[in-house]
Amino acid sequence: MHLLRQAFTFSLLLICFWAMQVSANELSTVEQKAATCFVCHGDKGKSNDPHFPSLAAQQSVYIVNQLNAFKSGTRINPVMQAQTVKLTAEDINNYGAYFAVQQAAKANGDSALVQQGKSKATACLGCHGTSGEGNGEFPRLSGQHPEYLAQQLTHFKNGTRLNGAMQALSGNLSEEEIKALAAYFSSL
Ligand code: HEC
Ligand code: HEC
């Protein structure tokens, strides 16, 4: 009986190990395809150029939503529209899964602005997380380029990027407040 249980546990372990291997192999296949994304978004999604957001450690659900939004044109960006036009639903899910598990990028914001931003950030934490880590459809903001975060807040404010909650929240923010919030979240 004892031996039988040991054999059972061992085979369960083997199955788990096999399942992990498969998903690791799948991710390495995705990584080969993702090389086209690295050209702009940096190696493994860690971007060194503020024109291109980091994707590393971004929420998978959020990545999937954005790729679908670029593809359908509800989020307007000609560069990303061209990148997504031929992606299948499976490709999109794979990219979400791949980038979500990469090591997060770090960014350094101007420290005076970071302090200013901290005092205004309370309203954001409920959705974006107390460390700006995001959750599901709510994107990770921490470690992102401050220039990119500020640009996106401005897009929501102008209505050139659509999202009910974010348009309402950014509508009354001044340019200075936008810069401060962007610096704060990128520094987390
Ligand atoms: C030629 C450069 C370029 C390439 C190649 C590229 N991207 Fe992008 N990507 C951008 C730019 C620029 C933005 C920011 C768009 C904006 O300002 O709205 C962006 C934004 C994104 C976003 C939204 C990020 C966020 O925080 O909202 C995702 C997700 C994304 N890209 C995924 C990908 C994937 C996956 C690939 C590879 C299949 C890829 N990109 C290839 C330039 C590129
Ligand atoms: C009610 C929930 C909610 C609150 C509160 C909220 N956000 Fe958001 N935010 C979202 C959602 C959802 C998105 C993604 C929208 C989309 O899918 O295009 C987003 C997107 C963003 C983005 C774009 C990120 C990227 O990678 O492109 C920034 C920047 C941002 N929020 C900053 C803030 C700031 C700063 C505050 C506080 C003033 C805030 N948010 C409060 C829900 C919220």
pLDDT in tens, 82-132: 999 999 999 999 999 999 999 999 987 789 999 999 999 999 999 999 999
Report d(CA 144, CA 151) in Å as an integer: 12
What separation in Å is there between the alpha carbon of 80 and the centre of ligand 1?
5
Q: Quick: pLDDT tens for 120-159.
A: 999 999 999 999 999 999 999 999 999 999 999 999 999 9
Name which residue sits closest to atom 38 of ligand 2, judged by CA: 124
Q: Is 129 left (phi over 0), alpha (psi -120 to 50) or beta?
A: left
Report d(CA 59, CA 139) in Å as an integer: 6
Residues with CB under 6 A from ligand 1: 36-37, 39-41, 51-53, 55, 63, 66-67, 77, 79-80, 83, 95, 139
